[in-house]
Amino acid sequence: MHFTSFLVAAASVLPVFGQLSGKVGPLTTHAAKSAKKTCNVLSYGAKADKTTDIGPPLLAAFAACKTGGTVVVPAGEFAIKTWVTFESGKGWALQIDGTISRTSGGSGNMLFVRNANDFELFSSNGKGVIQGNGFEDHKTGKRDGARLIRIEQSTNFSVHDIILVDAPMFHFVISKSSNGEAYNMAIRGGDMGGLDGVDVWGTNIWIHDVMVTNKDECVTVKSPSKNILIENIYCNWSGGSAIGSLGTDTAISSVIYRNIYTVHSNQMMMIKSNGGSGYVEDVVFENFIGHGNAYSLDIDQYWSSMKLIAGDGVKLSNMTFKNWKGGLANGAQRGPVKVACSDKTPCTDINITDLSMWTETGNKQTYSCRSGYGNGFCLKKGTGAGYAAITSTQVAAPTGYSAPVMKEDLKTAFGTAASIPIPTMPASFYPGTPPRSRLAGQ
């Protein structure tokens, strides 16, 4: 059920959706689209033989259904050798019930939806898979190949109940789009940087109930963005979620991250930049659970992995971090709170409440704040000029830090030299919280 269905069902649930500014998702159901016209790729030359290129049949089926209808990839195993750009479709859907596996090289976007309106990409049985076979690139160190799915300059759309595996580069990108929804997704990638799970920038977009395994971005907001709601996210041995990296003329506002579970990742949440300009404001990070992560709350405006760019720093303001629980890998090396703001453009109104976390190694942890103003831990009150880093050490576990674990937590990451198995969609993406929409096939 997409967001519009919730709106019709009960006005009382509206506050749940936080920062969204309006309806998201397709304007018409995929059932209505299918009733108008169905374009099965088997009728356009596709074969479920793991060899025949499904690219041209997909494009031909789209041409027949792009003004209203559903393109169907039925159950079976298909190969893709040529990438497909679905340009300017309106009132159409792409139903993937089988497995589409990459069998050739090249960069770009394997499935590229551009300038679409009233669009839906989904699996009706919850078994639709795009297998990128990225290990074939990664075992030689290559990581600049194809993205699996990109949605660009599109509106009124959804992507759901689909599994993405082992992208050569990024797994799923939403760029310059609006009124979109992505949900009920399992993403599993290699243990290498540059293999992002979900990257999003746009307006009025809801991402929820997504599990990501990789070694880079879990679910990340980039600029420009406004009215983004991200909730029920399972970063299962990942790089962790983030905002950024941030550059010149950054414009991000009205963002909520809610119900984020992160295990064995680089961080629970990072806001990253090095120089730059613009703003990130009116952001909430609530109900975070972590286990075994390197960093927890990490604001780093001196991020060494990013080349210094022109500008006095992106202005960070009106940020709330509340109800963070769990453990961290080594609190003496990387404490649960690191706020390193630009000395030239200090952070203001940073509020950290109900953060109770404890080190899983040793018996002490540190907190560090630099040029940050607000409330909580080592932040200075009010406003003012930049200041040198302030650190403090805690030697006793705080009360209430214990947090539940998920049964699907991986014991180790996937490498880069062998095929990555297709995951099973978890029943839940955050402890004790059912998916917002029922999983397909269940």
Concatenating the DSSP letter of every residue in 385-398 gives S----EEEEE-SPP
What is the per-residue pLDDT across 265-315, written as a single tens digit (0 to 9) for each?
Answer: 999 999 999 999 999 999 999 999 999 999 999 999 999 999 999 999 999
> If we measure between CA atoms, which residue out of 163, 200, 292 comes closest to residue 237?
292
Query: Same domain for 402 and 338?
Result: yes
Query: Residue 57 domain-assigned?
Result: yes
Query: What pLDDT does residue 197 have?
Result: 98
Query: What pLDDT does residue 18 have?
Result: 61
Query: What pLDDT does residue 19 have?
Result: 82
CB atoms within 10 A of CB 383: 12
Query: Same domain for 325 and 204?
Result: no
Query: Residue 295 domain-assigned?
Result: yes
Instruction: State both tokens at 18.
Output: 């936080």
Query: What pLDDT does residue 8 have?
Result: 33
User: Mean pLDDT of all residues in the chain?
Assistant: 95
On the question of pLDDT at 362 being above 70, the answer is yes
Query: Same domain for 383 and 418?
Result: no
Percent of the chain with pLDDT strictly greater than 70: 96
- Distance (Å, rounded) from C-alpha 217 to C-alpha 147? 14
On the question of pLDDT at 11 being above 60, the answer is no
Query: Residue 227 domain-assigned?
Result: no
| pLDDT, average across residues 326-334 | 98
Query: Same domain for 313 and 442?
Result: no
Query: Same domain for 159 and 261?
Result: no
Query: Residue 219 domain-assigned?
Result: no
> If we measure between CA atoms, which residue out of 125, 146, 122, 151 comes closest to residue 134?
146
Query: Residue 224 domain-assigned?
Result: no
Query: Same domain for 301 and 420?
Result: no
CB atoms within 10 A of CB 43: 13
pLDDT grade, residue 2 (50/70/90)? Answer: very low
Query: Residue 319 domain-assigned?
Result: yes
- Distance (Å, rounded) from C-alpha 130 to C-alpha 163? 6
Q: Which of these is catalytic: 97, 161, 199, 216?
A: 216
On the question of pLDDT at 391 being above 60, the answer is yes
Query: What pLDDT does residue 7 have?
Result: 34
Per the structure, the complete domain to which residue 57 belongs is given by 1-214+412-442
Q: Which of these is catalytic: 30, 208, 291, 300?
A: 291
What is the per-residue pLDDT across 221-265, written as a single tens digit (0 to 9) for each?
Answer: 999 999 999 999 999 999 999 999 999 999 999 999 999 999 999
Buried b or exposed e, range 114-150, using 16+ CB within 10 angstroms: bebbbbbbbbbbbbbbbbbbbbbbbeeeebebbbbbb
Instruction: State both tokens at 7.
Output: 């709106």
Query: Same domain for 110 and 254?
Result: no
Q: Are 107 and 169 in contact (CB under 8 A)?
A: yes
Query: Same domain for 319 and 247?
Result: yes
- The CATH number of whichever domain residue 417 belongs to comes to 2.160.20.10
Query: What pLDDT does residue 13 have?
Result: 33
Query: What pLDDT does residue 57 have?
Result: 98
For the ranges 5-19, 45-59, 110-124, 200-214, which has the lowest average pLDDT?
5-19
Number of domains in the chain: 2
Q: Are 71 and 39 in contact (CB under 8 A)?
A: yes
- Distance (Å, rounded) from C-alpha 210 to C-alpha 53? 29
- Distance (Å, rounded) from C-alpha 13 to C-alpha 3? 11
Q: Is 208 a catalytic residue?
A: no
Query: Residue 230 domain-assigned?
Result: no
On the question of pLDDT at 14 being above 80, the answer is no
Query: Same domain for 318 and 430?
Result: no
